Amino acid sequence: MLYKYFYNPVATKLVEYLPETVAPNTLTVLGLLGTVIPFGILLGVCGCTLCGDVPAWFFFIHAITYFVYRMLDEMDGKQARRTGNSSALGLLFDHGCDCFAIGMQCIMICKEHQVGENPIIMANLIGCYLCFHFTTLEEYYLGTLVLPMFNAVSDGSLLVIVVLVFTGSIGNDFWAVPACDGTWLKISTITMLNRGQVAGIVIFAMCCVSIFVK
């Protein structure tokens, strides 16, 4: 829905202002930098552990750079078609950069929301990559990328940005508050699930469902 009424028309309009000399892969790389740079900042400032305090200012930076990444990801394909530079290699490069970005975004979000170093973050990574793999596989056989009316790629981006802004406004300690019993997971390091971990489990479940629902 968000793709139809926002990302597609806005990206189409923005591409019109780009010189035809701008290569589509340039937009792809700039979009990837919108993930790599905040990823490096987060680990550099807060360390490599996947829990703990994250400065409020970083959440707003992440929200902005994530939006820029999503917009450039919409624009690169349109620039390729506009300039007649569409190719299988360009598509592979685009999806390859997206593959790296998905993993880094997932790790950042889990760290920011106090998921911690446990199998829940691995489940989130697996869920995200399963969605990406099967969607890309479907594109390969059908010749086009078909997404449901409400999907994690475009509509989910709004949720990510809203949650980042919300967390930056109140602090990420909100997600560290114990929420429910976690012994049923049979994970030795978890006896109580915090809010961030519950959200992580919900996201994993949604990823699994979205693979089969169109």
Q: Which of 62, 95, 113, 133 is catalytic?
A: 95
| 78 CB-near residues (< 8 Å, 6+ apart) | 11, 12, 15
DSSP string, 130-180: HHHHHHHHHHHHHSS----SS-TTTHHHHHHHHHHHHHHHH-GGGGGSEEE
Q: Which two tokens stand for residue 210?
A: 């979205």
Q: What is the DSSP letter of 185?
A: G
Distance CA 179, CA 160 (A): 21
133 catalytic per annotation: no
Catalytic residues: 95
